[in-house]
Chains A and B, each alone.
Chain A
Amino acid sequence: MSDTGINVLRIRLNDPPQLRDETTTPTVSRGESTQSPVREIALDTRGPHAFARVIDIDRLYEAVPGTSSQIVRALELLKQVSDFLVEAQKSDNAMDADRFVQRVQLALPRLFAYRSTGDGFGVIINSLHFAFSNLHGTPLTPDQLNVIWRVLRELRARPAMSLEQAIQRVEELEECGLEVDPPNIGDVLEGAESAQDE
């Protein structure tokens, strides 16, 4: 059995006439405009059907003078680190190259402090930290240098990288011969693997 229907009070705002391109909001009550049948030129220069040009990361998170933003600082530091790696790649002298790489290594703990930027951010920085530790001072090969530079550049372009994407990047680091697990964890895993084999 259902109750007799009653009037329910509803307040509805009229759909406001939209500007050419505005964030829709249910709360604007704008004065009446004369409706125009042609709102936009048919050529799509924006919106879902337009050519998808991806935003520049430095424009997405702009540094605002007088304010402090964690992601802006993280991006600045990532840029510095990438620049060091470029310098190391360019360098003809192995000692100079290694000096630039050491600067990268020193910046990693500061980058780790920005791990809340994204799920994948901490994973990549952490993996790089252990990759450097596991080298025990051995210089990076040109290939390893190139892969680290590419991974960090990718992280700068996509700082909110997902865990899955970060794991793929970490695998790239491993493929070029870098050991990204903490030394003791590596021992444990090796032990577990050999136990399984037996």
Chain B
Amino acid sequence: MPSSLTFDDFKPFSVTCELRYKNAFLIYDRTGNVIEELRESFTDINVSTAGPQQTAFASEEGTFNIEIGTCRFTSDMADKSAETFAEHCKAFFDAVADQLRISVFTRIGIRYILRKEFKTEDESKAALASMMLVNLKPTKRFNSSDSPTEVLFRWEDSQTGAFVRLKADTVEIKLSVPPELQKDVPKVDKKIYALTLDIDYYTVASVEREQWNCEEWLPQKFRVIRKEVDGILQGGGR
């Protein structure tokens, strides 16, 4: 019986778009220029880590990371469309590519992580097992669980690649509060049982900057992800 889950049953958790390029040594001189340029497009930019080889900063729209050979933008996608995410990516990547004079991207990847929460760990494991994505008899292996708790598929050729990972996850959120703040900040100790859907869709061959229109590419890839994931969830495993 096909799984009853569809892509829409999962709640977006985070989405990251990442560019990789040959080491851009202008990072030592121009990271500040990138941040100043971005202040015009993003709200309340705050630098969280600044170093010669890596700078991370955040705004209301998401978090940014620039390294010598890679840069990425991550958003939680809450109340945002693919088009809005693409607009933010364009502003960021244009600034990075202009300032660091990057003309070729060695890899462009989009990493989309979604979750469906369950009441118990067993329920999330059962949901994964019900998809029958792996053609293995449900029996104890390695003296561990009966069914796999994580399944990962990768498709790749010389041009593009993708992986889809499904995992029955137990997410523990623990916030230890220093004694002097304990009366004001409640202690957090929570467990979330969820089925995590983690998709990475990326280019294998290099992409010239003049080939890549971020605002067209990203929404298109979101559509591909949705279609392919629905296909996998709805019986693609058989």
Residue numbers of A with Cβ under 8 A of B are 6-7, 9, 11, 19, 21-31, 46-50, 52-57, 59-62, 64, 66-67, 69-72, 117-118, 120, 157-162, 165
Chain B residue nearest to A50 in the complex (CB):
B106
Chain B residues positioned under 8 Å from A71 (CB to CB): 213, 216-217, 220
Which of A25, A55, A59, A118 meets B206, CB within 8 Å? Answer: A55
A101 CB to nearest chain B CB (Å) = 27
Contact B216 A117 (CB under 8 A): yes
A154 CB to nearest chain B CB (Å) = 9
Number of interface residues of B (CB under 8 A): 58
B101 CB to nearest chain A CB (Å) = 12
B135 at the interface (CB under 8 A from A): no
Chain B residue nearest to A54 in the complex (CB):
B206
Q: Is the interface of B mostly helix, strand, loop or mixed?
A: strand
Q: In the docked arrangement, what's the CA distance between A48 and B25, Å?
A: 14
B205 at the interface (CB under 8 A from A): yes
Residue numbers of B with Cβ under 8 A of A are 13-14, 16-18, 20-23, 63, 65, 69-70, 72, 74, 104, 106-107, 109-111, 113, 150, 152, 158-161, 163, 167, 171, 175, 177-178, 180-181, 185, 198, 200, 202-213, 216-217, 219-220, 223-224, 227
A60-B20 in contact given A48-B106, A71-B216 (Cβ < 8 Å): no
Q: In the docked arrangement, what's the CA distance between A57 and B207, Å?
A: 9
Chain B residue nearest to A72 in the complex (CB):
B220
Contact A117 B213 (CB under 8 A): yes
